[in-house]
């Protein structure tokens, strides 16, 4: 039991140290960001937008938004999905 607690303590200290220098990401402050933050950020980090942005075309972003809704069950209303898709394509698509 003591060993498990020691491992957990060490892991948590390492995680805090590793995250100490990280800056929160900042997405482009334009129309649609509120829908992205509310709908996408409710389930996962918005870092994914920045990490993946060099690669997706509009079609890839569309597939990703559809996957989140249809495969993962993201409760995103159709009008919000359109705003999110437009935001991603215009600001983070190739």
Show the domain range for 78: 24-92
Residue 56: inside a domain, yes or no? yes
Tens of pLDDT, residues 12-60: 555 544 555 667 788 999 999 999 999 999 999 999 898 887 888 999 9
User: Is this prediction's pTM over 0.85?
Assistant: no
Q: Are 46 and 26 in contact (CB under 8 A)?
A: no
User: What one-character DSSP code corresponds to residue 23?
Assistant: P
Structure confidence at residue 6 as a pLDDT band (50, 70, 90): low
In a domain, 38, yes or no: yes
Q: How many domains does the chain have?
A: 1
Q: Are 76 and 57 in contact (CB under 8 A)?
A: no
Q: Check which CATH number belongs to the domain holding 66 and give it.
A: 1.10.760.10
pLDDT at 69: 97
Higher pLDDT, 94 or 81: 81
Neighbouring C-beta atoms of residue 12, cutoff 10 Å: 10
């Amino acid at each position: 039991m003591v060993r498990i607690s020691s491992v957990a303590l060490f892991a948590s200290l390492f995680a805090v140290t590793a995250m100490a220098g990280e800056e929160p990401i900042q997405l482009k402050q334009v129309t649609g960001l509120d829908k992205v933050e509310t709908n996408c950020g409710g389930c996962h980090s918005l870092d994914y937008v920045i990490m993946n942005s060099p690669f997706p075309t509009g079609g890839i972003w569309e597939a990703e938004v559809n996957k989140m809704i249809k495969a993962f069950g993201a409760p995103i209303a159709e009008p919000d999905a359109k705003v999110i898709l437009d935001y991603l394509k215009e600001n983070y698509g190739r």
